[in-house]
Structure 1
């Protein structure tokens, strides 16, 4: 006697159909609500591929199969007066990391050369600081025009809290984009940092926006936040008009206070990426720090929701070998985009 298997319906009303209805909604120009976004984060593991299929429909609509690569340069390490509990460079950290002031011209220029060689479209100059001092501002103002002339790279600066005047100076020297992460939701912020506020970070993004610079801002998953905190951050980023959203996954570092909660599994990380894609459908979503540790063998699936990654190392932790990233992208049938023809949405 033969056995009959009952298969889930694919008519949009049973398993997986809910996620396709979310894709239909956002592609029609109707934003996901906070309740719907929270539902994405609690998607049953059995429906994960259906969720990623819906996220991929949205990603493909706005970005095709393009993947943009970024390279980070830790231009100033440690020596930070802030007490961010997730950071190996904070004043509270006991992590053994390199500590140095802003790199000289030759090292910053050499980092740009490596970025070009690795097919990165964007070179990110990052310093650890509450905000840049005058010496650091002048170093950036001097090197950026030279990098752009020699290598034609898109430049992102991550310098901490900025004044209106500093943002305008960055725009004037040729910086294309400023990164300043919200890191978490507003309600959770004072649990991870006390030396500045969530509002301080929002004010910096507004200064960046007013200066005519692109905004890059995202967060870190796995800092004890609730699903509602993550959703609140995603919606805040959408409403601010942020262009590029890096999604980091907390990397546990010896000497740093925070530890990753057990629920941050590879499946949960993929649901988080899908949530950001569906909440911010036309924004660049980047799989950032911690992808190798937390997504593990499921890394390729992340690019069905996200459309960019960092290539190489992060600030004080190692990343996957570039050749492994190139192979992953090729195996997916996606293409690396390095020119100004890349799909970047303006808001």
Structure 2
């Protein structure tokens, strides 16, 4: 079987609902760079089946910054980081509402409220819920919250307030997890994702590539996200920030990043695959090619690092002949992935 037929066979397998073997997943990551167009063509066949040429846009607001007690090695906001980041407590409601209006201006369908920390206090939860209710009443946005590890009653309150989606990334493989953080466990993250599902919010969970994991572990990450049935999967590529324990990590090559995106499309074929943090510094000029596997982007800045100009992202989408997909609340899409009724 020639390589074109081999990659197309993986696309057919994904479309039939059959999961790739681990050997097939590893073959994707180890593909020769000369095969990248054939590989991305196969990934696009799957992406096109589920999403056509639509691209979903998400926007993040860093709702609480630099006061985190966790020791995550990749994060500039962690207690072990010496990176010079802004430090502030949870933003007030007016600022969160202004962020939602900015998300609308950027044509984002989902607004992500992110707060650094192990988990929210009840006071912080009250503040987020107050803002969420007003956003739900005044703007046709889907709302994603990312507030850390949740207690059962906290998950219930967020769902009742109208949060559509909750993000809690697995970040890396279970085997690699202790080398990345010691202040919480991989299993605690799984437990939070399961709580989110129980209370009817759509689970968003992804990974960070480039933290010393092996190719086999990347395949295991994709399997883990398939197993927990994450609806939305952000694929971050480490942006090694000076002052963090991972500041000297080797950048993921642009070609490797594309192979990772193809892998996740094959293993989680119907899910929203989002090109997330670090895409600008890892994919570089190959960013447009990422959308042949992924169907979603973050627009604007991330938590403590800058993204590229929003107009550049809009231009990429237009130049590819793709189009921005509005969510059902904005009257545009038929997104059936969210578990909550809207």
Structure 1 gap ranges (5+): 1-12
> Within the alignment, does 1:46 sit opposite 2:34 as a pair?
yes
* Distance of 2:192 and 2:337 partners within structure 1: 21
Aligned mate of 2:189, from 201, 205, 212: 201
Matched, 1:158 2:158: no
Check if 1:315 corresponds to 2:307.
Answer: no
Q: Distance in 2 between matches of 1:294 and 1:177?
A: 27
Indicate the residue corresponding to 1:4 in structure 2: none
Residue number in structure 1 paired with 2:229: 241
Q: Distance in 2 between matches of 1:234 and 1:114?
A: 32
Q: 2:265 is matched with which residue?
A: 277
Question: Counterparts of 2:240 and 2:227 in 1: how far apart (Å)?
Answer: 31
Alignment of structure 1 residues 35-184 onto 2, 5 Å: 35-184=23-172
Partner of 1:69, secondary structure, is strand
| Partner residue, 2:292 | 304
CA contact (8 A) 1:82 1:129 kept: yes
Contact 1:223–1:260 (CA<8 Å) still a contact in 2?
A: no
**Which secondary structure state, in structure 1, belongs to the residue aligned with residue 145 of structure 2?**
strand
Match of 1:290 in 2: 278
| Pair member with larger Rg | 1
Of 336, 339, 342, which aligns to 2:324? Answer: 336
The separation in 2 between residues aligned to 1:342 and 1:132, in whole angstroms, is: 32
Structure 1 residues 65-124: Cα deviation after superposition (integer angstroms, max 9, x where no partner): 110000000000011010000100100000000000000011000000100011000000
CA drift of 1:344 comes to 4.2
Query: Equivalent residue for 1:3?
Result: none
Q: Counterparts of 1:49 and 1:263 in 2: how far apart (Å)?
A: 22
Shift of 1:55: 0.3
Length, aligned pairs only: 335
Instruction: Kindly indicate whether the alpha-carbon contact (under 8 Å) linking 2:201 and 2:338 is maintained by their aligned counterparts in 1.
Output: no
Alignment TM-score, normalising by the size of structure 2: 0.96
Q: Distance in 2 between matches of 1:262 and 1:94?
A: 20
The 1:263–1:175 alpha-carbon spacing in structure 2 relative to 1, beyond 3 Å, is closer
Q: For residues 324 and 186 of structure 2, what CA distance do their matches in structure 1 show?
A: 34
Distance of 1:245 and 1:270 partners within structure 2: 15
Name stretches of at least 5 consecutive residues in structure 2 with no aligned partner: none
Partner of 1:10: none
In the superposition, the TM-score normalised over structure 1's length comes to 0.95
Say if 1:62 and 1:343, in contact at 8 Å, map to a contact too.
no
- Shift in Å, 1:154: 0.1
What is the CA–CA distance in structure 2 between the aligned matches of 1:119 and 1:346, rounded to whole Å?
19
Q: Give, in whole Å, the separation in 1 of the partners of 2:219 and 2:127.
A: 37
CA deviation after TM superposition for structure 1 residue 312, in Å? 0.3
Q: Distance in 1 between matches of 2:218 and 2:105?
A: 35
Contact 2:66–2:77 (CA under 8 A) maintained in structure 1: yes
Q: Which moved more, 1:226-235 or 1:102-111?
A: 226-235
Report the RMSD for the aligned CA atoms in angstroms.
1.1
| Shift in Å, 1:16 | 2.1
> What is the aligned partner in structure 2 of residue 345 from structure 1?
337
